Amino acid sequence: MYRINEGSIDLPSGWKDQSINIVSSSGSGSIPGLTFTITREEVPWGMQFAEYVAGEIDKAKEALTEFKVLTRSDLAISGRAAVEIECTWKAKQSPMHQVITTVDAPAHAMVLTASMPGRMSDTQKAEVRRIVATLTFAQPAV
């Protein structure tokens, strides 16, 4: 049984969760707010979590215009190894500011990305970190 926020669906066994969840602080107005994206990614066979994260940072440096890592921190989220980077890059419309936390989740890497056009305030970054710290993993079905 595959569970989603709205309910559940009975999928064939062996299917992998490659869903993307996007939530936003913007209301109905035209002012862009902070978006929070949760993705799930496979760590290649035989690769350590730290190697995977380093490779993803290298890919971002190649793919994103003026990509800069401002800070990088090793931490634990829900008892699992995690890496947080704070970064900036130039999008078509405006500069982007992101706090990206990659967690060594039980079945895959889980990437939690907070994105803000322009610059996040210290208060916004603190709130993003508070939200990320609340992540808990469901107990496996028995």
Query: In this structure, how many other beta carbons lie within 10 angstroms of the beta carbon of residue 58?
Result: 10
Task: Please tell me whether residue 23 adopts helix, strand or coil conformation.
Answer: strand
Instruction: Specify the number of domains making up the chain.
Output: 1
Task: Please tell me whether residue 103 adopts helix, strand or coil conformation.
Answer: strand
Task: Quickly list H helices, the chain.
Answer: 49-63, 122-133
pLDDT for 75-134, tens place per residue? 999 999 999 999 999 999 889 999 999 999 988 899 999 999 999 999 999 999 999 999
5 found inside a domain: no
pLDDT score recorded for residue 28: 55
Question: Which CATH number does the domain housing residue 74 bear?
Answer: 3.40.1000.10
* Domain with 25 in it: 17-133
Q: Taking the model in full, what pTM does it have?
A: 0.87
127 found inside a domain: yes
pLDDT for 20-31, tens place per residue? 888 888 755 555
* Residue indicated by tokens 């999008």: 91
